[in-house]
Structure formats: C-alpha cells, structure tokens
Chains A and B, each alone.
Chain A
C-alpha cells in the first residue's frame, strides 16, 4: 500500500510513499473520498515520495477542488528536493501551502 491516510481532529493526513503517479490514482481518489464537511485541513505528507509526475499534480488539483479551492486548507509537507523541484516548476506554491 503506497498511500495511507488518517483523520485526527477533522484534519486529514495523506502519506504517499514511492512513486506518486498514475499508478496510485485509484488509491488517491479513495483517500480523498474521506473529505467531508467537517474536514478543516488536509496534509499531504511527501516525506517518502520519490517521484511526482504530471498526473500526480492533477490529483492534487482534484484534492484542491474537493476542498473548495481553499489554498490555506491544504499543505504539501516534507517534500524531498527532487519532488519539491517539480512542485516549484509548476508554481504550485500559488495553489497550496508548501512547507
């Protein structure tokens, strides 16, 4: 299982390990299905993510639309330099909180 997620205090944390690409599309979708009216914040933990491709960026956009496009309510955290670079090329700092 390359995706694990848990909700604490209405905050959802999704951790992705290995390759974040089209291969985990289904798992990611079911992870974000946990988002409901009570969800106040989503953390996407990328500490074990080795690779991110454009379909992964697309999945993050899906997550964003599920959170009503609120930049402040989604944090992409702990990204390794290679992964961070891809997020920066796409200027995703404009859409998500990166740290």
Chain B
C-alpha cells in the first residue's frame, strides 16, 4: 500500500507546473498561505522528472507550455499513478477553455481560473484532498479484502485436502456403485460412502447435511470414520446408523442434521436392506420389466434426537440382478428450470422408463437440459446401486494374504451369550476382533469373520429361534423371515449360545477350531445348505462357503453343535 503522505500532522505537498515565473510565484505564495509545502516545475517534462507519487498530494498544471504541454504531462503522470489518486488541477485562462474536454479525458480533476482567487483555491484544494483521502482509504480496504480472500482461499484448499483425506480414507470402489456428485463449493454437503463388510456385504451411505459448503461438510468426517470403522468390523447398517446418529446428536448445533440413507446389499441372501432417514424417496428399478418400486423415507434425519429415542425402521427388499436402487439428494428433484419449476420425481421416473440400460445417464442429461441457463442451486448427488450379483460384478473379494510371520501359540477362549444379550447385540464383530488381537490373525480376518458369522447365525436362527430357512427362498420371503426373526427374538425367554475358540500351532502356522453350541432343539444342517452351484443361488450358500474356507465342518449333537477347523500358514 502506498503511503498516504498527506498525513494529518504534516503539511500537504503541492507541485506547481507553469512556464510563467510570475504565475508560479503567485500560486506559490497563495498555497504557502494555505499551509502547503510547494515545489515548482517550468514545463511538463520537468514536472515528470520531478514527480514522485510518494511526495505530492496535489498538482497544479498549466495547459500550454513549451517542451511538453500540461495535457501530455498529465497523461504520463496518470499512467505512473496506476490505481493511486492524486488530484491534478488545471490552470486555465485566456483561450485555454477549448482544452477543457481534453483535460478531463487525460485525468484532470478540476480547473482553476487565472487570476487566482484565494477563497476558491482554498475550497477546491480542501475538497479534492478530502476525495483523495477517501480514495486512499477505499484502495487500502480493497487491498485488505483481497488479502483476506487470498488467505481464505488457501485455508479452504488446505481444509478441503484434509476433508478429502478423512472422507476418502478407506474409500473402496465398488463395481456395483455409480455416482455423480456436483458439489456447489470445494466442500460437499453431500456425502457418499461405500465399503464391504468382512462377510462380503456391501454397505452404502448417502447423506445430505443441512446447508452446503464448509459448515455442512465439517461433520462428514466423524460420520465417515464411524461408517468405515464399523463396516470393517462387520457391523450392520442399523448399528452404524445408531452410532452416527449418537455422534451427530452430540456434535451438531440444534438446527443442523444429516438426511441420509444407509443401504446394505447382501449377496448371500439377495437382499437389499435400507434405513431411510429424510432423503427424498428412492426408486428400486428393474431394468428388465421397467417396474419401479418407491422407497419412502420413514425415519427422522440423523443428529436430531438422541439414539435411545430413535426407533429405526429398516426395510428388506428381495432383489434380482436386474434391479437397481436409484438414490439422490434433494438437489436433483429441486433443480429448477427457467420458469422456476422443479425437476421432481416424475422427471426422474420418465428417465428411468425411457432408457432402461442407461437410465443413469438419462437422468443426468435431462437434469442438465431442465436446468438450462440456471445456475446450480444445491449440491447434487445421484447414486445408482446395482443389485447385480454376478461373479464379474461382485466375486469374492481377494482374501488379504499379506505375508506376515506370526508365532503360533496354544490358547483357548470362550463366550456364552444368554438370551438377553442376544436380543441386544450381535457379538460376532467384537469376538472376531479379540481373536485378531490374541493371535494377530488380521490377514485372515475376512475368512474367520465369515465362518464365525455363519455358524453363529445358524445357531441363532435355526437352533434357538427355530426358523425355517425355506422362507427366504421366495420373493418376499426374506422380509417375512426377518420380521419373524425379530418377533421370536423379542419373545425369547431362555437359552444361550456358546462360542469356543481353540488355537494350536500346526505345520508352518496354526489351527483355529471354532465351535458353536446352542441350547435349542437342534436342526438338520442339510436343510439349510444347498450346494454352491452358481452365483445365482438365493440362499444357503453360507455353509458351503464355510466348507470351502475351512479344513472341515461338522454338525454334531443333532445340530446343536457346529465345529469348524480353520488352518492358516505363514508365508
């Protein structure tokens, strides 16, 4: 910032440019009387040579002079001043009126007529100096704002990088998930997360925070950490939703919340579970038949009420590979056209029916066309979750075979869960985690998780709860099966499940024996298992998978005890 040399304390400085010595002396005298410090030049060229923008507050310029006239000198001085302002007052008299237009054009600020009148001179200079002060103040403020904006941009960029790292950590691409995100700023108020559980289920979270930009995305970080952390440990979407709600309720101000949907795609059961919390309705669309099933929001958005009061409603949909779940945030259906009409659900459904295979692109194109010249008004996120379970799309995830050397040891641990505990929680994630701790079996986590889950779930569903798995085979069966499971679990008044883990060194690694016992009536394991013929199997693949992973699997005691042996090797 250039110094404002007309500081209140020091005398203002004037430059007089005139070829007439008499005029120079006269003006010098008058300005001296007004308290100015005066410097004089006899023509335009000398004025330019003398001129230093830091040194003068006002210039008096004659028009007609030898060597260089006042108009040319003013043009040059204005150029050197750039965005600084120093008033230049033209001295007029005789026939110089004809130059007035030109004087203003090159940057003259005012005129003063010969012979000089002391009062007029005083008034003019005072008013021009006031303008100069205002101008300088404005220039200074502009520079401050620019510096602030620059700093803010840099901070935003740094924060956006941190945000990307947190939300993107562990982000796993899924061939089943396609999305289009158009955030309004560097920070996205919309959030899309996906990850596979150790039991090979695909968890997806689509969320939309109140507002957009930095405030909206601030709370994305804890939500993402919970989602990834709990999915990796094998928790279901109900537990994850409850935990995110708990955290956001603690963190967010009263007027902020997260509208979200959590979905879990279960290949094993060809089931899609959804917990919808305040996003616009989703569409379950069949690319073969063109059928559209609407999935409405039936829970409060997250972060509004405390988790114990949150009675989450979860829906289960039996799905085929030809089905897709189309989800979006309200930016999609609220996109307005030139007439202010919203795109709305009918617009979305039309797109789906028009091009079944490329429905996703159709929606995006239609949205662009609808918006026309209008600017984007909200974050827009569009998500398509394909229920295609074929091997190419899905496939078993590669088991993590990172070479690690583990010293195998002998140990045994067991847990007994009574009926009350079973009503409250799924013990598998915590138990499997403790096995990881004891023996450092993390590289085999997915396999062990799958085995423990299968044996435990069978004991619970078929042993203690006496559920018939043939229910799951029909189209709406899974939802019925689940409802019945919930009902029987709530009614359960006795019984327990015991899980025993025994480990011993074996060859170049170890042998983990997983035994699950229940106090139910027993069941015939072949009734709940069907051979692993292809990937289109509806249900019952679980035990077959366990057999391929384990060395052996055996049901004894009339189905009341399952024993699986898992063998691992050091590389």
A90-B300, A91-B298 given; A55·B211 CB < 8 A: yes
Does B255 contact A91, Cβ atoms closer than 8 Å? no
Does A91 contact B297, Cβ atoms closer than 8 Å? yes
A54-B208, A54-B210, A55-B210 given; A61·B297 CB < 8 A: no
Q: Which residues on the A side are within 8 Å of B334 (C-beta)?
A: 53
A65-B254, A91-B298 given; A54·B259 CB < 8 A: yes
The distance in angstroms between the C-alpha atoms of A59 and B253, with both chains bound, is 11
CB distance from B122 to the nearest CB of A (A): 48
Interface residues of A in 4-46 (CB under 8 A from B): 22
CB distance from A93 to the nearest CB of B (A): 10
Q: Which residues on the A side are within 8 Å of B208 (C-beta)?
A: 54
We find that the number of chain A residues with CB closer than 8 angstroms to chain B is 17
Contact of A91 among B210, B254, B278, B330 (CB under 8 A): B278
Q: Which residues on the A side are within 8 Å of B281 (C-beta)?
A: 89
Does A58 contact B297, Cβ atoms closer than 8 Å? no
1/0 contact string of B297-331 vs chain A (CB within 8 Å)? 11111001100000000000000000000000010
B275 at interface by CB-CB < 8 Å: no
A54-B330, A61-B254, A95-B304 given; A90·B211 CB < 8 A: no
1/0 contact string of B252-294 vs chain A (CB within 8 Å)? 0011110100000000000000000111110000000000000
Interface residues of A in 59-93 (CB under 8 A from B): 59, 61-62, 65, 88-92
Q: Is the interface of A mostly helix, strand, loop or mixed?
A: helix
Q: Which residues on the B side are within 8 Å of A98 (C-beta)?
A: none
Q: Which residues on the A side are within 8 Å of B298 (C-beta)?
A: 91
The distance in angstroms between the C-alpha atoms of A2 and B299, with both chains bound, is 31
Contact of B259 among A65, A88, A90, A94 (CB under 8 A): A90
CB distance from A83 to the nearest CB of B (A): 13
Determine the residue in chain A with the shortest Cβ distance to B296.
A89
The distance in angstroms between the C-alpha atoms of A89 and B280, with both chains bound, is 6
Determine the residue in chain A with the shortest Cβ distance to B212.
A54
The distance in angstroms between the C-alpha atoms of A53 and B259, with both chains bound, is 12
Categorize the interface residue count of chain B: 20 to 34
A57 at interface by CB-CB < 8 Å: yes
Does B297 contact A90, Cβ atoms closer than 8 Å? yes
The distance in angstroms between the C-alpha atoms of A15 and B507, with both chains bound, is 78
The distance in angstroms between the C-alpha atoms of A94 and B298, with both chains bound, is 10
Does B304 contact A89, Cβ atoms closer than 8 Å? no
Contact of A90 among B255, B256, B278, B305 (CB under 8 A): B278
CB distance from B209 to the nearest CB of A (A): 8
Contact of A94 among B255, B256, B300, B330 (CB under 8 A): B300
Does A61 contact B304, Cβ atoms closer than 8 Å? yes
Contact of B299 among A22, A55, A91 (CB under 8 A): A91
Q: Which residues on the B side are within 8 Å of A90 (C-beta)?
A: 259, 278, 297, 300-301
Does A57 contact B210, Cβ atoms closer than 8 Å? yes
A90-B297, A91-B278, A91-B299 given; A61·B211 CB < 8 A: no
Does A55 contact B255, Cβ atoms closer than 8 Å? yes
Does A58 contact B278, Cβ atoms closer than 8 Å? no
Q: Which residues on the B side are within 8 Å of A58 (C-beta)?
A: 210-211, 254-257
Does A59 contact B255, Cβ atoms closer than 8 Å? yes
A54-B208, A90-B259, A91-B278 given; A62·B254 CB < 8 A: yes
Determine the residue in chain A with the shortest Cβ distance to B280.
A89
CB distance from A18 to the nearest CB of B (A): 13
CB distance from B435 to the nearest CB of A (A): 40
Does A89 contact B278, Cβ atoms closer than 8 Å? yes
Does A95 contact B255, Cβ atoms closer than 8 Å? no
The distance in angstroms between the C-alpha atoms of A82 and B420, with both chains bound, is 45
Interface residues of B in 492-511 (CB under 8 A from A): none
Determine the residue in chain A with the shortest Cβ distance to B216.
A54
CB distance from A72 to the nearest CB of B (A): 16
The distance in angstroms between the C-alpha atoms of A91 and B300, with both chains bound, is 5
CB distance from A48 to the nearest CB of B (A): 17
Q: Which residues on the A side are within 8 Å of B300 (C-beta)?
A: 90-92, 94-95
Q: Which residues on the B side are within 8 Å of A92 (C-beta)?
A: 300
The distance in angstroms between the C-alpha atoms of A48 and B301, with both chains bound, is 25
Interface centre among A54, A57, A59, A90 (most CB of B within 10 A): A54
The distance in angstroms between the C-alpha atoms of A86 and B299, with both chains bound, is 13
The distance in angstroms between the C-alpha atoms of A91 and B298, with both chains bound, is 6
The distance in angstroms between the C-alpha atoms of A64 and B257, with both chains bound, is 14
Ranked nearest first, the 7 interchain pairs of A and B with the lowest CB-CB distance are: A58-B255, A54-B210, A90-B278, A65-B254, A89-B297, A91-B300, A62-B255
In the complex, besides A57-B210, A90-B301, A95-B305, 18 extra interface pairs with C-beta distance below 8 angstroms are A53-B334, A54-B211, A55-B210, A55-B211, A57-B257, A58-B210, A58-B254, A59-B255, A61-B254, A61-B304, A62-B254, A89-B279, A90-B259, A90-B300, A91-B299, A91-B301, A94-B300, A95-B304
Would you list 12 pairs from A and B whose C-beta atoms are within 8 A, ordered by A residue?
Answer: A22-B211, A54-B257, A58-B256, A59-B255, A61-B255, A88-B297, A89-B279, A89-B280, A91-B298, A91-B300, A91-B301, A95-B300
Where the two chains meet, the residues of B that have a C-beta atom closer than 8 Å to any C-beta of A are 208, 210-211, 254-257, 259, 277-281, 296-301, 304-305, 330, 334
Where the two chains meet, the residues of A that have a C-beta atom closer than 8 Å to any C-beta of B are 22, 53-55, 57-59, 61-62, 65, 88-92, 94-95
